Amino acid sequence: MITNFEFSMLNTFMCKDFLSAESYSKPLCKNVAMKENIVKEKSFQFSLSIIDLYSRLVTEKEFIISKQLLRSGTSIGANIEESTSGESKKDFIHKMSIASKEARETKYWLRLLHASELTSIDVKDELAEVENLVRLLTSIVKTATKNIKN
């Protein structure tokens, strides 16, 4: 049998239509399982694109912003992964909030790269990807915070 906390963590604080705890072998909430996988997969794919961008930037002799970008861009997914094994609901929210902040920092570095014209590499795709992550993470944090108060 799973505990109430495990049940709510599996639902990622986003599902209002909980199934009974006895049916936990089935997906608890179709939309939540999908959203959790989406944010994990999107952040992982984004990390890969940031690693690729970092390699291209280093090739063009851009070392300072590229390192900041690598750190913040790959930290997003790491914090999302860590949030799934949170010790409490508040810990989950805290880790997701950190991931959201890292996404915003990454957006800043990408905007700076684009505006400074230090390199000829186009970062518009990465900017669009990180903006989607920011929106998704903001939604998760708001929903989780709302659900913890209820």
Q: What is the DSSP string of 35-86?
A: HHHHHHHHHHHHHHHHHHHHHHHHHTT--HHHHHHHHHHHHHHHHHHHHTT-
Task: Give the pLDDT score at 34.
Answer: 54
Q: Which two tokens stand for residue 135?
A: 């929106």
Taking a C-beta distance cutoff of 8 angstroms, is the pair 110, 68 a contact?
Answer: no
65-124 per-position pLDDT tens digit: 999 999 999 999 999 999 988 889 999 999 999 999 999 999 999 999 999 989 999 999
For 36-149, CATH number? Answer: 1.20.1440.60
Of 35, 34, 28, which is closest to residue 11 (Cα–Cα)?
A: 28
9-60 per-position pLDDT tens digit: 434 433 433 333 333 333 334 444 455 579 999 999 999 999 999 999 999 9
Helix axis angle, 124-149 to 64-83, nearest 10°: 30
Tell which wins on pLDDT, 143 or 86: 143
Task: Give the pLDDT score at 149.
Answer: 83
